[in-house]
Structure 1
Amino acid sequence: MNLESPLDIDLLDEKFSLEGELGFIEMEGELPFISVSNKYAQADICLYGAHVMSFTPHNTFELLWMSPSSFSEEGKAIRGGIPVCFPWFGPHNSDPQLPQHGFGRLMYWEVIETRAEANGETLIRFQLNASEATKAYWPHDFSAELVITVGAALKLILNVTNTSTEAFEYSCALHSYFNLSGIENIHIEGLQGTTYYNQLTKANAIQEEANLTISEPVTRHYLDTQTPVIIADPVFRRRIQVQKAGSQVTTVWNPGQEACLNMQDMPDDGYETFVCVEATNAFKHSITLAPGESHQTATIIGLEV
């Protein structure tokens, strides 16, 4: 499933490029993307899915993890970076044949604005509106905007508006993959005392430990929390801070070895060098919008200062 590409890279470059800071690139056999380089960082953002694929502040190396086996073709999701899960998170609640994590990551988003900010940051605004293609999978009228700001930190804001005449419910996530020295080296701070749903055991529990370490497959959805977390990686000598707003669920995921063996778009040992920490709205925290209402889900990713 995908939208037929509406893109003319030359026209986009003419209208939205920022000299010396932002340009549009289309490489043979690859999906088109935006390349950003400013005084703070470099970033690559694929137009397919409005998908951040790379974020590298100048004082460190790549913060995001991309699978070297990821698909890079229409109709298939990109593995790694920051997929936008919308308008549902995980499998569809009534039709398992519909795409995992919704259709937002399987469609081209329209670039509607680029801007060089006075402080040196770079802003890109994407939009995905209801269409015949989206209504084949979800019957509602909506407008979704994703605003990405590249600076010393990377900020994403997903703003969903109900443009229909009836209320609807959706779930979403900013499904961030983080680049690690090794899963056994890191710990995650900020979740102690938080109730989580363990998707692997289908049970709720409370994290008693001060820090989460990962030595086996993990799919935890921490509930009723907006607390920032830290991914501490002493081997890489950095602490990645993951902040969020408008999200009541923090998802932590690493598939472990056995699941990786069954993923075509991930190396067998891929699980060793990433963890996902996601700003999520799902389960009892799915979002209901009345006609005309909007909701923002945001995440801010950067090094702890």
Structure 2
Amino acid sequence: MNIDELNDQFGVEGEIGFMELDGDMPFVTVTNKYAEADICLYGAQITGFRPMSTTDVLWMSPYSVFENGKAIRGGIPVCFPWFGPHVSEASFPQHGFARTSMWEVTEVDTLDKGESLVSLQLKSSEETKAYWPFDFVAEMTFIIGSSLTVTLKVTNPSSENISYTAALHSYFNLSAIENIKISGLAKTHYENQLDGNRYVQEEELLEVSEATTRHYFDTETDCVIHDPYFNRSIRIAKEGSKCSTVWNPGAEACAQMSDMPNDGHETFVCLETVNNINDQIDLAPGESHETTAVISVE
């Protein structure tokens, strides 16, 4: 559908509309009494969530590229059907193909308390089967209210079992990385991707002072990013996920990324809702799984 057709079929006057924004990509724009949000149909990626009480909760790189075949840097990328590099094919796209696919709008609605709901869908096709030879239906649902609820639902419509890993790869906007502390991960086991070893986090509050890639597993606990200079805390609650990843590239790696400013690492942290490590999702024929993150400001 083109923008006019999307507005005719799904637009809600004064609340939900469709327009071409960065790089002429099609976006859903939401404005209600709680917040504003921008969702790109390419990648089913929310790039902005602005509650009326505070600045944008999500971080976007000012150098992000909006073009087919390239991932958008920031917001909440959808990693599916694998998280990280492909296990056997190094040439396959990092974090799967969902974040570089065009998704279709399937539903918009205004809920009872004035929240806005937007649902997008991606189905298996010849293009996806070149990378992953299985049938699937993936749905991304966003509920924009005083909090942001993001759900990836994957259904197996086939007659064979399928397995996948996934993540809601959330970038959070910070006053400065040195100002923040993260709670909710104390005494939790994690895999340090940078050295390949496993540890237990002993400290009550995590501070991110260098390049960090930690995959915490066997945890369903809320995490909170405390940012006193922005006078807010961001709570990330989740369902359907037993793994949480904390990532910041640090100065050296950040300087090598063409779609990120050299100092970009100073103003964001990724705290991701993940299905990985010992939380791979296995779906029998007809089964579905939902991975949900609920993001709120305190």
Q: TM-score when scaled to structure 1?
A: 0.97
1:199 and 1:30 map into 2 onto residues whose CA distance is 36
Moved over 2 A (4+): 27-30
Spell out the pairing of 1:211-222 with structure 2 (5 A cutoff).
Answer: 211-222=205-216
2:262 is the counterpart of 1:268: yes
Picking from 8, 14, 26, the partner of 1:32 is 26
2:286 and 2:30 map into 1 onto residues whose CA distance is 33
Spell out the pairing of 1:49-198 with structure 2 (5 A cutoff).
Answer: 49-198=43-192
1:219 and 1:29 map into 2 onto residues whose CA distance is 30
Letter aligned with residue 112 of structure 2: A
Q: TM-score when scaled to structure 2?
A: 0.99
1:276 and 1:43 map into 2 onto residues whose CA distance is 19
Taking only the aligned residue pairs, the percentage that are identical comes to 56
1:73/1:63 CA distance change after superposition, 3 Å: same
Q: How large is the RMSD of aligned CA atoms in angstroms?
A: 0.8
Shift of 1:28: 7.2
2:230 and 2:272 map into 1 onto residues whose CA distance is 21
Question: Structure 2: 5+ residue runs without aligned partners?
Answer: none
- What SS does structure 2 have at the residue aligned with 1:235? helix
Question: Structure 1: 5+ residue runs without aligned partners?
Answer: 1-6
1:278 and 1:49 map into 2 onto residues whose CA distance is 16
- What SS does structure 2 have at the residue aligned with 1:258? helix
Q: How many residues align?
A: 298
Which digits, 9 at most, give the CA deviation of each residue in 1:30-71, with x for residues without a partner? 311011000000000001011000000001110000000000
1:262 and 1:29 map into 2 onto residues whose CA distance is 23
1:200 and 1:86 map into 2 onto residues whose CA distance is 22
Picking from 35, 39, 48, the partner of 1:41 is 35
1:83 and 1:131 map into 2 onto residues whose CA distance is 21
2:206 is the counterpart of 1:202: no
Shift of 1:27: 3.7
Give the structure 2 partner of residue 299 of structure 1.
293
